[in-house]
Amino acid sequence: MCGIIGYTGSEDVKAVLLDALELLEYRGYDSAGVAVRDSGTGEQRVFKCAGRVSDLRMLCAAEKFASGCGIGHTRWATHGGVSDRNAHPHQVGRVTLVHNGIIENYKELIADYDLQEELQSETDTEVVAALLNRFYEGEPHEAIKKTVAKLRGTFALVVMFADQGDVVYSTRNVSPIVATLCDEGAMLASDLTALCRFTNRYFVVPEYHILELHADHIALCDLDGKMVEPEYLTVDWELNSAGKNGYPFYMEKEIMEQPDAIERTIEGRIRSGLPDFSADGVPDALFTDCERICIIACGTAMHAGLVAQALVKSILHMHIEVEMASEFMYSDPVIDEKTLVIAVSQSGETIDTLEAVKYARRRGAKCLSIINVRGSSIARESDYVLYTNAGPEIAVASTKAYTTQLAVFYLIVARMAYSRGVFSAEETQSFIRELQRTPDVMKKILAKRRDIHVVAKRVLGAKDLFMIGRGLDYSILLEGSLKLKEVSYIHSEAYASGELKHGPIALITQDTPVVASVTQEKLMSKELSNIKEVRSRGADVVVFIKESIAQRLEGEYEVVKLPNMQDEFMVMPASVALQLLAYYVSADKGFDVDKPRNLAKVVTVE
């Protein structure tokens, strides 16, 4: 987590840093800071505070810096609470520094180098600043080299030395840094979002290298001083200039964008009614040569993987596992050259997923990634990439990224079934036709959003809530439950309905609302019995149900009818309905829906 920016050039440095930090704020938003050097006076000053970038803007509103260089940071706290003091940049002696990552051995470093006296914060970062300052004798490269040799953990470090003019230095291990030289000067950032305003050309700073930004050039070398030519890439990622488009929150806007996003995801990947990945450069051999599939992801992206798992089992009858990326490497996973690894990530920067991809490829697996952000780290580390084309997702709670990930999985499953001879051409075309109905079906559920708003008011006061369903409904509810807890702070648990009476039903009372999802016709009778069981224990039950079977429950329960699709596709309308439920509960409670407490959009620490 944490967003980093570094800049040197002819523009108003304060404005460049603050604007970039606003774009990077989704990486962390508990505090923010900048250090700016005025090239005229040589004066270097730090402004930082707990709170948002808007607070930082106010803090330094009156300050004027002609030009020069600067570094900035938006923080997601790991070591040390949220406070002005713990905000970055940290300044020790001649060193001013920002950091993304975690220094695991910071306590040993304090002891080994007797640094305690020099520290004012509780952060691991300030220890790095102190160590760097200790090693610094006027030679930045020497000091950086000595420092990184002592660090254990992950780090992207950006440094200004008080006596080195308008030069910004950087080095990294695991945590990402991209950089560019453009007409306005040289800049670096945690991700491309902050650079796209200036250029679509960038390069990834290699691990354990030292980057120097000068206003008119960039120098990159390894730790032994050998010069390295940056490998420039281009990106066609566009920033969403339309802002919230009249919606009060990005989350609502992004929920509403889903029909268009799904169209963008599937169009261009269907030819003669069949799924086609030739434009993505993904060969059929990837699908025909594998014996098993392993999906790796975190959070919402992992929930998309769980839906895919159910489809693969029922359609392809293949061995498939869904692994939480954070557990993957520590669980002795069965991965070999016959395993197709599918990594799923909106940001393409989630550190656990990134490390899992590297691990799987070392074991000989081929890796296909489903990614939203073009040119991101996971995309670069993968053998093949299918971009979801959802467009920028700004709200922390993932919505359109999830449903576009699902759309890509439907295409993959169909292509696999076709290329492995499980589906005939006609069967594949019929499956794809149903997928192509998704945008229209989503529009129907979005048109009924007021009904979901009414239902949301029933759970507004709940402290705890259960979501129950079977089969694919259970998979969808895991995501619906995550959505509700992250934005509304209601403790919500998704449970496979049949498991409820093996323990958790003890928690059901009249104060525990239950949301049930009933979209799978073959499981309906059993599901209805489970709903009755919680109802007879006093629970207020809201049922999201496929329209064609809704008459079984109408009059008896509060029912939200979901437009009909074939059972395998009902996750699409159901997930939109559950997103709306979470959104309305949060908005009605008056929360900052787009920036829930303790969270960040991109999780770059393990």
**Contact positions toward ligand M6R, by CB under 6 A?**
298-301, 345-347, 350, 353, 396-398, 482, 486, 602-603
- The minimum distance between CB 486 and ligand M6R, in angstroms, equals 6
Judged by beta carbon, residue 94 or residue 601, the one nearer ligand M6R is 601
Q: 421 near 287, Cβ under 8 Å?
A: no
- The minimum distance between CB 600 and ligand M6R, in angstroms, equals 8
Judged by beta carbon, residue 354 or residue 432, the one nearer ligand M6R is 354
d(CA 428, CA 599): 40
For the four alpha carbons of 116, 121, 122 and 124, in that order, the dihedral sign comes to: negative
575, two tokens:
């997930």
Minimal CA–CA distance to 71: which of 37, 39, 41, 103? 37
- The minimum distance between CB 359 and ligand M6R, in angstroms, equals 16
Judged by beta carbon, residue 550 or residue 576, the one nearer ligand M6R is 576
- The minimum distance between CB 347 and ligand M6R, in angstroms, equals 3
Judged by beta carbon, residue 215 or residue 357, the one nearer ligand M6R is 357
Q: 465 near 443, Cβ under 8 Å?
A: no
Secondary structure in 3-state letters for 238-277: CCCCCCCCCCCCHHHHHHHCHHHHHHHHHCCCEECCEECC
d(CA 418, CA 428): 6
Which residues have C-beta within 8 Å of that of residue 62, sequence separation ≥ 6?
A: none
- The minimum distance between CB 398 and ligand M6R, in angstroms, equals 4
Judged by beta carbon, residue 468 or residue 602, the one nearer ligand M6R is 602
d(CA 238, CA 252): 20
Instruction: Please state the φ and ψ torsions of residue 600, each to the nearest 5 degrees.
Output: -150, 155
105, two tokens:
């051995």
Judged by beta carbon, residue 127 or residue 397, the one nearer ligand M6R is 397
**Which residues partner with 33 through β-bridges?**
48, 73
Judged by beta carbon, residue 103 or residue 482, the one nearer ligand M6R is 482
CB atoms under 10 Å from CB of 431, counted, come to 25
CA dihedral 354, 355, 357, 358 (to 10 degrees): 120
- The minimum distance between CB 596 and ligand M6R, in angstroms, equals 9
- The minimum distance between CB 432 and ligand M6R, in angstroms, equals 25
d(CA 215, CA 182): 9
Secondary structure in 3-state letters for 533-590: HHHCCCCCEEEEEEHHHHHHCECCEEEEEECCCCHHHCHHHHHHHHHHHHHHHHHHCC
- The minimum distance between CB 354 and ligand M6R, in angstroms, equals 9
Three-state SS for 180?
A: strand
d(CA 278, CA 344): 20
- The minimum distance between CB 396 and ligand M6R, in angstroms, equals 5
- The minimum distance between CB 166 and ligand M6R, in angstroms, equals 34
d(CA 394, CA 246): 15
Judged by beta carbon, residue 398 or residue 517, the one nearer ligand M6R is 398
Judged by beta carbon, residue 370 or residue 539, the one nearer ligand M6R is 370
Give the H/E segment covering residue 128.
Answer: helix 124-135
Give residue 456's Cα distance to chain centre: 26
d(CA 387, CA 385): 6
In the complex, residue closest to ligand M6R by CB: 299
Burial class (CB in 10 A: 0-12, 13-18, 19+), 186: buried
Q: 171 near 210, Cβ under 8 Å?
A: yes
Judged by beta carbon, residue 343 or residue 545, the one nearer ligand M6R is 343
Q: 366 near 351, Cβ under 8 Å?
A: no
Note if the bond before 89 is cis, omega within 30 degrees: yes
Minimal CA–CA distance to 373: which of 202, 205, 207, 249? 202
260-269: buried (b, 16+ CB within 10 Å) or exposed (e) per residue? bbbbbbbeeb
Residue type, 326: S
- The minimum distance between CB 550 and ligand M6R, in angstroms, equals 28
Active site amino acids: 2, 601
Judged by beta carbon, residue 298 or residue 435, the one nearer ligand M6R is 298
